[in-house]
Copies of this chain bind each other. A is one copy, B any other.
Amino acid sequence: MKKGIGHILPSSEAIFVDRGVTKANQLLENWNGEDASRFGLVGLPLSKTSISASGAAGAPTTIRKALSAFTTYAIEDEIDLSPRMVTDFGDVSMHVTNLVECHQRIERSVAELYRLYPDIIPILLGGDHSISCPSLKAFAQARGRVGVIQFDAHHDLRNLEDGGPSNGTPFRGLLEAESIKGEDLIQIGIRNFSNGMVYHQYAQEQGVKVWTMKDIQHNRIEDIIAESVKSLENKVDSIYISVDMDVLDQAFAPGCPAIGPGGMDSQTLLSAIYTLAQHPKVHGMDIVEIDPSLDVRDMTSRVAAHVILQFLLGKAKAGN
């Protein structure tokens, strides 16, 4: 028990505590230098790699904070998530001006994490989408053949020549490096007027499976997810979810740099994550492209917090 002088407590603890409520941030436990839980959270605060100005480097902080606005209890499944089920390793420290070095730090750091804790399920918080390239390189290196289910309005398959490894290129980088195969990449939520035609053609050439927003309007998301995992489960060793929050309509995710109309609503995304997480081969997730400086009341970070919670809930429910 902590003991203070009078009612003085460390400032992060000097808040109202209700004995009947476990806040969702209590799911996180700072790494003690030795043990780790089944889930490992790492922040990747990099957004200088964005094509447009972005403050997404601030999102690991706001997403963690958003967790404290929610609780651990899922009434719909009557499941209470366990405190300390996620080890919070902290953030990768970034170089000020050398962005290639930043990507290398990410890759080396998560590679080392996977080496130390071979079975850990990473929950990686961007940053912009460029972080998925080094992060998935390390993941594929550690875990074998990887299937990726990407929620996104954009392909993120731009060429690497024009601007280097940016938030428009992560999956191009992975395909070119042969870290993943085109047929193992599934993109959900791709939107009209949000991509160049040649990148759609590239996706088709590479065998990438693309579900557009029209597909989502005309199908149940649970069915899309079922079909997606079915197409991957027998050929890959692990499935990794990459959630670019701009897959959501701007009304639901006002804090993404590249907002627009005609996207998914929050409930659809949350259902998708919940369903996906129940699959035993889903072994990792990243959440990217939230710029807190553009957001309204941290709404987008709040959705991200629910994405994490639904992921943990799916795992808890499936018991895998």
Question: Which residue numbers of A lie inside 8 Å of B, CB to CB?
Answer: 3-11, 13-22, 24, 30-31, 33, 42-43, 45, 47-49, 51, 53, 55, 57-58, 60-61, 64, 69-76, 78, 80, 88-100, 105, 108-113, 116, 158-159, 162-166, 168, 190-200, 210, 212-214, 217, 249-252, 254, 258-262, 265-267, 270, 293-294, 296-297, 299, 302-303, 306, 309-310, 313
Q: Which residues of B contact A72 (CB under 8 A)?
A: 193, 197
Q: CA–CA, A199 to B200, complex, Å?
A: 49
Decide: A7 and B93 in contact? CB cutoff 8 A: yes
Q: CA–CA, A88 to B162, complex, Å?
A: 26
Q: CA–CA, A165 to B210, complex, Å?
A: 42
Q: List the 4 closest A-B pairs by CB distance, nearest first.
A: A6-B109, A96-B163, A97-B164, A14-B91
Q: Which residues of B contact A166 (CB under 8 A)?
A: 96-97
A and B contact pairs by CB, cutoff 8 A, 19 listed: A3-B33, A8-B113, A9-B93, A11-B64, A14-B93, A16-B96, A19-B159, A22-B196, A48-B99, A71-B194, A71-B195, A72-B197, A73-B195, A75-B190, A75-B195, A75-B212, A98-B164, A259-B297, A296-B296
Q: CA–CA, A191 to B294, complex, Å?
A: 27
Q: Which residues of B contact A91 (CB under 8 A)?
A: 8-11, 14
Q: Which residues of B contact A265 (CB under 8 A)?
A: 251
Decide: B296 and A200 in contact? CB cutoff 8 A: no
| A303 with B261, Cβ < 8 A, contacts A71-B195, A93-B14 known | yes
A74 to B: closest C-beta gap in Å: 5
| A251 with B267, Cβ < 8 A, contacts A5-B112, A90-B10 known | no
Quickly give the copy total for this chain: 6
Decide: B250 and A16 in contact? CB cutoff 8 A: no
Decide: A42 and B8 in contact? CB cutoff 8 A: yes
Q: CA–CA, A302 to B111, complex, Å?
A: 40
| A250 with B297, Cβ < 8 A, contacts A97-B100, A158-B20 known | yes
Decide: A260 and B8 in contact? CB cutoff 8 A: no
Q: Which residues of B contact A53 (CB under 8 A)?
A: 47, 55, 57-58, 293
Q: Which residues of B contact A108 (CB under 8 A)?
A: 6-7
With A6-B108, A51-B96, A251-B251 already in contact, 17 other A-B pairs whose C-beta atoms are closer than 8 Å: A5-B112, A6-B111, A13-B93, A14-B45, A14-B92, A14-B94, A19-B159, A21-B195, A71-B194, A78-B197, A192-B310, A251-B252, A260-B306, A261-B267, A261-B299, A261-B302, A294-B297
Decide: A254 and B299 in contact? CB cutoff 8 A: yes
Q: Which residues of B contact A213 (CB under 8 A)?
A: 76, 267
Decide: A214 and B76 in contact? CB cutoff 8 A: yes
Q: Which residues of B contact A306 (CB under 8 A)?
A: 192-193, 260-262
Complex partner residue of A5 from B4, B24, B89, CB under 8 angstroms: B89
